[in-house]
Chain A
């Protein structure tokens, strides 16, 4: 045990004396969360929109005025024909077109119901969604005021139509996604680099010739990163709660357990990488290409898995990050308990055991 503590102490010296790895460890999660948080934001300002008003009556004018008066939209142009809508979008000047039906006021009075169509450019799904929500909010506000002193209920029905990408299935994954990336990066990349560094320096050989057992060496190398990864996970969750007001709906305890499971699977991957790479650079390249890219591209973090071609959907199943994202998304956003994510947890657990077994086996083949 005393030997082990001495080993861990030395490991922390390495980490705290290397500015670059310190930066990766602590600067990166904060920078990423802030960047993603502020880049994928639902705030919109002065978005250019166009209006197609078939009625041109008092009600539509009032609604248009309200929209123009809000700080979220600026009305760029009036469209006269349905046929022109496509070309307006294609020129890229506007992000949405509001299409008021004919006889808007009349319909509202006669049928107590009138329809306005919101056509949004969904090439940028976040913005399209937000625009639709904001227009709805303005319409609802107006409708509420109309209904205030009259017993009849008037209803303005907004019909939202997303063009170019009707599915809109990618939003709001950034906290789970960034957490996954960071844990993967810190656990797998940093450990594989720190183990290969010892190989490169020749100190690994000295350690193996010493009475320390190989598994003691590996656990000693890995332990500090478990600790640091947990700190990182806590920092990320705190940032998302206090800066982005994204409360964790489910159990924090379950979240912590699942995170530790994922950290261990990433560490096992890191050890595996270190057994197959001779230099720090190789370890870094394998970590980046073999782990980071799949995590970013195939885990469903940025690109929805459901819209990928079938082969990629199949491949995505072997990426631990995919399952972890499903799990923590469930816990953080939907507030589900273990009974809803046990399958994913089991898969992740299976993968972790597999990676550990594989790296132990690889490691047993004595180092050259």
Chain B
């Protein structure tokens, strides 16, 4: 196993009864890479991701995440990854600080560490004024940024982002991608699903899933050449239409 491959997937398959949601996918992701995981709704990207983060057991195939096997070491995987869902799930009835403390706590961070992290986080995001306000009162874009920072709280090796920019405006999305770059520069691997094709251009490499299979996998530049398309959107359309 290569040290630099933080995610290795081979012939990973998930079946729900007769339905094959994920059909024998193979790929790997390198350390510090921003890996875009694209696909239409229902293509199987969320199912694939759930297998990688250890909340859904695969039907067949092999996969290791952060060096741990998804079949046997799901608990170890959980300690080494961060996860942000498309709902930016934070507790609306807790304050910003309480949310940070809680999530830091369930990852086993010490009190002093939580305090230190929480202060830097609040400072970095410019949240000083709202640190003691309930999260429910904050705009969506702020929740998204807090949610991402919380996912990085325990310095995970890999952070999984499930459609992290749904429903927020273009400027906030842009700012959010700057946060992603910053995390990647610090050596965190970013695994991100999205259906905004312009965002695909920001990724180091992208894979495109169609009907449970990975139909394309390369850098955005090479994919555009391969499919003779001007934008990632055109690549995607060509693939999706078959």
Contact = CB atoms under 8 A, between A and B. Distances in A.
How many B residues touch the partner, as a band?
20 to 34
A6 B83 contact: no
Nearest to B151: A206
Contacts of B103: 206, 210
Nearest to A16: B93
Interface in A201-222: 201-203, 205-213
B172 interface: no
B105 A3 contact: yes
A210 B89 contact: no
Nearest to B162: A205
Nearest to B110: A2
Contacts of B85: 202, 205-206
B142 to A, nearest CB: 17
Contacts of A9: 102
Contacts of A17: 93, 134
Nearest to B160: A209
Contacts of B231: none
Interface in B82-121: 83, 85-94, 98, 101-103, 105-108
A13 interface: yes
B57 interface: yes
Given A6-B101, A367-B55, A209 B81 contact: yes
Contacts of A212: 106
Interface of B: 53-57, 75, 78-79, 81, 83, 85-94, 98, 101-103, 105-108, 134, 160
Contacts of A13: 91, 93-94, 98
Contact of B78 (A2, A205, A210, A367): A210
B93 A209 contact: no
Contacts of A202: 85-89
Interface residues of A, number: 24
A10 B106 CA distance: 11
Contact of B91 (A6, A203, A205, A211): A203
A14 B54 CA distance: 27
Contact of B106 (A14, A210, A367): A210
Contacts of A367: 55
Given A13-B94, A209-B81, A6 B102 contact: yes
B55 A206 contact: no
A149 to B, nearest CB: 76
Nearest to A206: B89
Report, nearest first, the 8 A-B pairs whose CB atoms are least far apart: A202-B87, A6-B105, A202-B89, A209-B83, A203-B89, A17-B93, A202-B85, A10-B102
Given A3-B106, A10-B94, A209 B55 contact: yes
Contacts of B56: 366
Among B101, B108, B134, the one with the most A-chain Cβ atoms within 10 Å of its Cβ is: B108
B80 to A, nearest CB: 9
